[in-house]
Chains A and B, each alone.
Chain A
Amino acid sequence: MTRPPPVAALALAVLPLVGACSSTSTPTVRVLAASSLTDVYEQLAGEFETANPGVDVELQFAGSSQLASLVVEGAPGDVFASADLVTMQRVVDSGQTQSAPQVFATNSLTLVVPADNPAGVDRLADLADDDLLVAQCAIEVPCGAAAASLFASADLVVEADSLEPNVRAVLTKVELGEVDVGVVYRTDALAAGDRVGEVPLDPNPVANEYAANEYAIATLLGAPADADDFVAHVLSDEGQATLAGFGFGAP
């Protein structure tokens, strides 16, 4: 009678095989990008793959801070695209970057209201009204910090009714009519289409330096040459046109 091998040994024997499967012969560029880049990076990756047949782009989206923590703790990746410079600097300081970070896009804030605008919000100053239900990002994440500087530079005291963990959550609360107004990025307002109404900040009380954030991109230690080519594509005229199409500002 043969004894079955311990399951643990089996698992250990299989593990390297699983690892080997992911590094097949097709060259792959693993891109870690901020969640606000989801739609535009899917298109940029498609463009890059068409222009470079045989190269695979593997996209992974999450909050910038979360991705930065992954990279700092040594998670595998070739390119990192962050929604702000502070987060990119954390990765640079950890010594995990290969190329110097470059700003490739900017984003600015805008106000969104439910499609029927039940509270009749039509300008930024309306947000000072305590009875208005306001959602914004929590101060800990880039869009929340940007909202705080927006209010500060407009001399407004806004008591937000909810401090959402990310900008998509703010958008959801507005779409479902749970709040009367939300502070989101212009790109999110554009992506939501007519499910929400936009109240443009006109005139924007702040110059780009406050209520906007800058997106930076860099290759990570050990990245293949294809990763540099992907970064070059994002910065190219074609890549910049794609970004503009999704509502991003030029660097």
Chain B
Amino acid sequence: MSRRPPLVLAGPAAVAVGFLVLPVVALIQRAPWSSLADLLTTSTVADAMRLSIVVSLTATAVGVGFGLPLAWLLARVDFPGRALVRALVLLPMVLPPVVGGTALLFALGRRGLVGQWLDRWFGLTLPFSTTGAVVAATFVAMPFFVLTVEAAIRQSDASLEEAAATLGAGPLTTFRRVTLPLVAPSIAAGAALTWARALGEFGATVAFAGNVPGRTQTLPLATFLALESRPEEAIALSLVLLAVSLAVLVSLRRHWILR
């Protein structure tokens, strides 16, 4: 494995690495290190950080809870229109998040398609609430989980599931005792990816849940607004997000880098 890589591949690869890493280096170089501690301990930042953790973790939990059955269905059940359903559930990945957020308003807002009934029957208003922020984050992040896990289930050895069935295991037992353990690493990877996407979510959140400090103002929203008047604080906040996502990627190295 120690052959010299051909220049035709190594050249562009080096350019790509430089291109992707340079902005991060520039950000770190501009960081106000001496005042970092002060910038990161204001109540706005503390609130945003706490909220970001709550929202992103909840969105991940919801995404896994509903995404896992969906991924299994798409991978293992041959129902009519499966390709269409797969395309539809992956749409939020390409939809500009702001458009996604506005579409959520049309659907779940106070006068939305479904939202007006939630409001009328249960007094449940999602916009401007933390639940709304979770809804927005889940909408953009869940497809990443479905995509990762569906691919893993499809690539896993179906004959093992068939063997379990022959030995008398019901479909649910097969799923729990055979399929799940087989794709467990991908579930972890998909969840981490989903969480990272939810943590960085901005557009759909601001469009659907608004910007309410302590309730929907997550780290990316606080960062965007800080950029308007206090760029130093924005850089400091970005460093926090950077550190967190780096930690996630490092913890995933077994799955992606060493595979």
Contact = CB atoms under 8 A, between A and B. Distances in A.
Given A140-B226, A140-B228, A162 B11 contact: no
B88 interface: no
A18 interface: no
A172 B103 CA distance: 12
A138 B212 CA distance: 9
Interface residues on B, range: 20 to 34
B12 A178 contact: no
Contacts of B225: 138, 140-141, 163, 165
B110 interface: yes
B213 A7 contact: no
B11 A164 contact: no
B206 A163 contact: no
Interface string A164-175: 110001001100
A162 B212 contact: yes
Nearest to B231: A69
Contacts of B109: 176-178
A138 B210 contact: no
Contacts of A165: 206, 211, 221, 224-225, 228
Interface in A133-184: 133, 135, 138, 140-141, 161-165, 169, 172-173, 176-178
Interface in B39-70: none
A63 B7 CA distance: 44
Contacts of A162: 127-128, 210-212, 216
Nearest to A172: B102
Contact of A4 (B8, B221, B226): B8
Interface string A57-85: 00000010110010000000000000000
Contacts of A172: 102, 207
Interface string B213-247: 10011000100111111110000000000000000
A51 interface: no
A164 B226 CA distance: 13
A8 B15 contact: yes
A161 B110 CA distance: 14
A13 interface: no
A6 B228 contact: no
Given A6-B7, A169-B206, A178 B211 contact: no
Given A6-B8, A178-B110, 13 more contacts: A3-B8, A6-B7, A7-B12, A65-B227, A66-B227, A66-B228, A135-B210, A141-B229, A162-B216, A163-B212, A165-B206, A172-B207, A176-B105
28 contacts: A4-B8, A6-B7, A6-B11, A6-B12, A9-B11, A63-B228, A65-B227, A65-B229, A135-B210, A138-B211, A138-B225, A140-B230, A141-B228, A161-B212, A162-B128, A163-B213, A163-B217, A164-B206, A164-B210, A165-B206, A165-B224, A169-B207, A176-B105, A176-B110, A177-B110, A178-B105, A178-B128, A178-B210
Interface of A: 3-4, 6-9, 11, 63, 65-66, 69, 133, 135, 138, 140-141, 161-165, 169, 172-173, 176-178
> When A and B form their complex, which 6 residue pairs have the shortest distance between CB atoms, in order from nearest?
A162-B210, A140-B228, A6-B11, A177-B111, A140-B229, A65-B228
